[in-house]
Chains A and B, each alone.
Chain A
């Protein structure tokens, strides 16, 4: 990559945007991979995340974010009141910078004081300590997102989560997130050995690591001097302290040359820092340069509800304004209180006042004591560095010159400069770079820091793995798996399953020797139509409705009349949305004067129930109607075919008469079966055969399925799945999901005749709009191939015979299509312009995707038993 260093004068802001524009196709295939490779970016793994993640929920009165000196002080007073306190810190070791400083608190080392305080807090029942936990987002109404890192635990045990995504509900929060040091932009400030001064100090004090043998310090503030002092105390040689301010030296640093009013302008050393060059022309041999450009309050979380930070000249940084998220207050360095002793008092007082505000009584105590160490700073965004690059964002390789160029090219807004230069767009989101970059921008444009402003801070504060948001909801746990009560029986039959509305439904039941699904499905259809078949229809939505006004209520939600449904009868109902489009259909049975049971389609069960609750509670609250979903409380089976009654008579108790006379077509009633077990019987048919649906309480579902199969043995009974169900409904011309697509009216479906003109119902008025009544709308009809050997496919588009396929000539489409084993050829139902008046006409069914183009005849969608005679025998 030395070549890029050499070419660097050419590679400025927006270089890639400007250079790799042509030819267009090269970007994705050539330039981008090459650039990513050169930048050392890896390849995205296509493997699933191997780690486990979890979610958790916690509740508290006061959430304290950050367990440094301020946060610990706040926690002590808040917790002394008995308030429920959560103290969270992203480090595994609580104490914040106290663990990296040499100062004394209450006469002991800061780290010892922190440790003792944490121990005291952990002994309190009302305190929850969450170390290794980052508060990454502030959401509405006191909800905080927190990510707990448990990587070390997860490495030992694969089943343990690597991260836990906590949702913390807090009445109040105190942000004590401290401050982050920033750098200074000077020539070649990216050589190994050039580090932030606070990092050099942490290495020395916390980890006992010397970052160099000849360390120099470059600062614009008092705190940089503390680094020099601590290094000397650890017997690490400090060769120079360079302070850009023209003031007297802040401290005495034995053995070091002191340069006041001086800047670093260049550095040397290819693989490691060898020397630095000062603005006074002097060169200094050094292998580590500790840089301190001042401290930025860590106010990120205060801006998650669009708070805008304000500039504070005294500490030369942005501080939170008063528009924090509701319930959040700020204390300590995060607020701009840079003197530790003041920050401790502030934390102490804030913990106390927040707890008091919530009605808790705080125990009197004194804040911890530490010597007052003053902090003063003069902004220093860097010095002209000539040809040498002065890095601003070290993680995203943005230089001071890039920012200047962006400004020159007209990018004046801080948000635009960010996106053009990528300043602050790396994983650290500019935590060390942004304020420096804004300072450089302000200088370039001759405006104040306030005028320049910051980019908007958004969650997450630091990166959170996508897996942590998913938690355990992946693979089979993504959503619930619903099995019907007789699922085990179906598994025993080697059923093939399909997922519908989270349910596992049997699709077909292959027999030994059957090699193609069509063999199984054709057999199931033929056997059902010839004798009797059984289908698990438990998954249909079932809604139990009681009350004096139910029939009136149903009248308002169905297009057809329900006011006079007699007890012991069931009725087909069509439900519209308010805009006149069909929402759902099903049957509703009246079991007694004030008791109804409605069925919905499997897919719409939830929506229909929600809609009915809306209609009742919002539109007609005084109707005496009470409803509850009983989808999962009943197992239900369709028993269909000419022998269905004979079969049922073997399981229905003999005192229940289900003969054609006593229990005619569309009959409904409560019966007992198998010697006293309560059941509901409905004489309804989706298949077009003599058919019933029988419902029992869920716990009897499995037994009933087995009993029906046993009773049906003499009739050669067959279980059938959703495919055979689909074949038979298309043979009968019943609309289902593909037809109820949200764009079809009752008229389009050929059910306009059901609409009662004598009442208001949901969808009535808007269903009468002119365009919805036009004759040339797409209307549902049947289709059959002219050549009965032809394959007809759902999704095919319909064209007049001599038209070429195009949007303009499109006449409609085939929505559902199957091979009819009864008719011996394919049939379909679909929509075509003016379909109802075009029966007998021939059109083309064209499928350009699968290369099919056949001639079909428009016909009635009722292919089998159009008069419905079989239903009534």
Chain B
């Protein structure tokens, strides 16, 4: 596969390491509340098994060490979008 890196252009997927769903960005922040135990459980273990467009994390280990959010169709392997994970993270309000 070829991943079109937002900074470096098209790169072979061999340069990358795959992690999993981009939902891993959404780490719960309510750690002080009792209810967060369930949230952390969902965050760590429960994944959608998507047949279609899947947002997932790839790490450019043999490159610039960017974490990327790649939107890939799991049926066709078509890659529809590639974003820097830090932009996605900021986009959902994560900061410090």
- Chain A: residues with CB nearer than 8 A to chain B? 139-143, 169, 305, 326, 549, 552, 578-579, 606, 610, 613-614, 617-623, 760, 764-766, 768-769
Contacts and interface: CB of A to CB of B under 8 A. Distances in A.
A623 B31 contact: no
Interface of B: 1-2, 12, 17, 19, 24-25, 27-29, 31-32, 36-37, 40-41, 43-44, 57, 59, 61, 65-67, 76-79, 84-86, 89-90, 94-96
Nearest to B29: A760
Contact of A169 (B2, B19, B67, B94): B2
A139 B12 CA distance: 12
Given A141-B79, A578-B44, A613-B67, 6 more contacts: A141-B77, A169-B2, A610-B17, A619-B27, A622-B90, A766-B37
A618 B2 contact: no
A141 B44 contact: no
A614 B59 contact: yes
A618 B96 contact: no
22 contacts: A141-B1, A141-B79, A326-B78, A552-B96, A578-B43, A578-B44, A606-B61, A614-B57, A614-B67, A617-B85, A617-B86, A618-B24, A618-B25, A618-B57, A618-B67, A618-B85, A618-B86, A618-B89, A621-B95, A623-B96, A766-B41, A769-B37
B94 A579 contact: no
A140 B73 CA distance: 12
Nearest to B77: A140
Contacts of B84: 617
A764 B86 contact: no
Q: Which of B24, B61, B89, B90 has the most CB of A within 10 A?
A: B89
A579 B44 contact: yes
A141 B59 contact: no
Contact of A617 (B1, B28, B66, B95): B66
Nearest to B40: A765
A765 B37 contact: yes
A501 to B, nearest CB: 15
Given A140-B1, A578-B44, A768-B37, A614 B31 contact: no
Contacts of B44: 578-579, 766
A60 to B, nearest CB: 14
B3 to A, nearest CB: 9
A508 to B, nearest CB: 34
A536 B61 CA distance: 27
A764 B95 contact: no
A141 B61 CA distance: 21
Contacts of A614: 19, 24, 57, 59, 67
Nearest to A759: B31
Contacts of B25: 618-619
Contacts of A326: 78
Contact of B96 (A169, A610, A622): A622
A766 B84 CA distance: 28
B62 to A, nearest CB: 11
A610 B59 contact: yes
B95 A765 contact: no
Contacts of A610: 17, 59, 61
Contacts of A621: 85-86, 89-90, 94-95
A623 B89 CA distance: 12
A411 B16 CA distance: 44
B74 to A, nearest CB: 12
Nearest to B72: A140
Contacts of B28: 765
A143 B2 contact: yes
Contacts of B79: 141
A606 B62 CA distance: 11
Contacts of A768: 37
Contacts of B37: 765-766, 768-769
A165 to B, nearest CB: 14
A259 B96 CA distance: 88
Contact of B40 (A613, A619, A766): A766
Nearest to B67: A617
Given A326-B78, A618-B86, A622-B95, A141 B2 contact: yes
A696 B46 CA distance: 46
Contacts of A305: 76
Contacts of A619: 25, 27, 89, 94
Contacts of A766: 37, 40-41, 44
Q: Which of A326, A578, A618 has the most CB of B within 10 A?
A: A618
A655 to B, nearest CB: 38
Contacts of B29: 760
Contacts of A606: 61
B83 to A, nearest CB: 11
A764 B41 CA distance: 12
Nearest to B2: A141
Contacts of A765: 28, 31, 36-37, 40
B77 A620 contact: no
Contacts of B77: 140-141
**3 tightest CB-CB pairs across the interface, nearest first?**
A622-B95, A621-B86, A760-B31
A614 B89 CA distance: 11
A418 to B, nearest CB: 25
A135 to B, nearest CB: 18
Most chain-A Cβ atoms within 10 A of its Cβ — which of B57, B67, B94? B67
Contacts of B27: 578, 619
Contacts of A579: 44
A623 B37 CA distance: 25
Nearest to A767: B40
Nearest to A610: B59
Nearest to B95: A622
A305 B76 CA distance: 8
B89 A617 contact: yes
Interface-central residue, A552, A760, A765, A766, by most chain B CB under 10 Å: A765
A597 to B, nearest CB: 18
A477 B25 CA distance: 37
Contacts of B59: 610, 613-614
Nearest to A57: B12
Contacts of B61: 606, 610
Q: Which of A623, A760, A768 counts the most chain B CB atoms within 10 A? A: A760
A793 B59 CA distance: 41
Nearest to A629: B65
Contacts of B19: 614
B16 to A, nearest CB: 11
Contacts of B67: 613-614, 617-618
B96 A549 contact: yes
A326 B77 CA distance: 11
Contacts of B17: 610
Contacts of B31: 760, 764-765
A578 B41 CA distance: 10
B96 A620 contact: yes
A549 to B, nearest CB: 7
A610 B65 CA distance: 8
A606 B12 CA distance: 20
Contacts of A169: 2
Contacts of B36: 765
A578 B27 CA distance: 10
B46 to A, nearest CB: 13
A189 to B, nearest CB: 43
A703 to B, nearest CB: 32
Nearest to B68: A617
**Best-surrounded residue of A140, A621, A622 (most CB of chain B within 10 A):** A621
B67 to A, nearest CB: 4
A425 B57 CA distance: 39
Contacts of A617: 66-67, 84-86, 89
A488 B89 CA distance: 47
A104 B60 CA distance: 55
B64 to A, nearest CB: 10
Nearest to B33: A765
B37 to A, nearest CB: 6
B19 to A, nearest CB: 7
A607 to B, nearest CB: 10
